[in-house]
Amino acid sequence: MAESSHYPSYDVWAEHREWDEHTRKIVAKRRSPDVAHRFLTPKEAVTLQTAASLLVDDIRLDVLTYITQHVDETLASPVGEDQRKVGVPEKQTLYRQGLRGLDETSEAEHRALFAALPKEQQLDVLTRIETGQVKPSGAWAQVPAKEFFKKMLHDVVSAYYSHPLIWSEIGYGGPAYPRGYIRVEKGLVDPWEAKQDGK
């Protein structure tokens, strides 16, 4: 989480009227995500949201709710994956078993579910999964721990940086369509883009 931003007064949403209607709807939905899940169980959603908070080092509930909702929508979608390694199950199985594995590893090592552990122990569990230092039993007999971690990290970070609040913090001006960029020379910015001094 950004403790401070180079763009403290910048709000990408202030320019939303410049975007086409379809883009406005997509970005508005990210600002106010649903809390209903179509694939994840409530327990899985809490586990994922807890892990996401650690992966992006952010505790803001609106951002974490969006991340969880985005992953849930991806998992519930009938659209397939573009590619995956041999031996790695489909994303739905990978997440279902991987989130179960997070809790199993937490209970085996620390006698509590992942979401209930102190932050240091949660980080320990994530590190063990990332490095594949978990027993290949239970959920980890069904899915490779390292592959689950890679997929979750990719999905969480991608969702995080697609949230308009994060765009504002990093000075990303959001969609340029339909107005486009005019000042493309090095060091120049368009009037609607973030300025380093925060204006």
Residue 168, C-beta contacts closer than 8 angstroms, at least 6 positions apart? 5, 7, 10, 11, 12, 13, 194
Distances, alpha carbon 196 to alpha carbons 4, 170, 175, 199, in Å: 13, 10, 19, 8
**Calpha distance 112→129 (Å, rounded):** 16
In a domain, 175, yes or no: no
Q: Cα Rg for the chain, rounded, in angstroms? A: 19
In a domain, 179, yes or no: no
Please state the domain count of the chain. 1
pLDDT digits (tens, 9 = 90+) for 135-194: 999 999 999 999 999 999 999 999 999 999 999 999 888 887 777 778 778 878 888 888
In a domain, 147, yes or no: yes
Q: Would you state the pLDDT for residue 6?
A: 83
Residue 68, class by beta-carbon neighbours within 10 Å (0-12 exposed, 13-18 middle, 19+ buried)? buried
In a domain, 152, yes or no: yes
Amino acid (one-letter) located at 193: E
In a domain, 141, yes or no: yes
In a domain, 184, yes or no: no
Q: Are 69 and 37 in contact (CB under 8 A)?
A: yes
Does a cis peptide bond (omega within 30 degrees of 0) precede residue 33?
no
Q: Is 54 helix (H, G, I), strand (E, B) or coil?
A: helix
Q: Would you state the pLDDT for residue 72?
A: 97
pLDDT exceeds cutoff 70 at 1: no
pLDDT digits (tens, 9 = 90+) for 64-98: 999 999 999 999 998 877 777 788 899 999 999 99
pLDDT exceeds cutoff 70 at 2: no
In a domain, 3, yes or no: no
In a domain, 95, yes or no: yes
Supply the range of the domain harboring residue 81: 12-170
Q: Would you state the pLDDT for residue 152?
A: 98
pLDDT exceeds cutoff 70 at 198: no
Percent of the chain with pLDDT over 70: 97
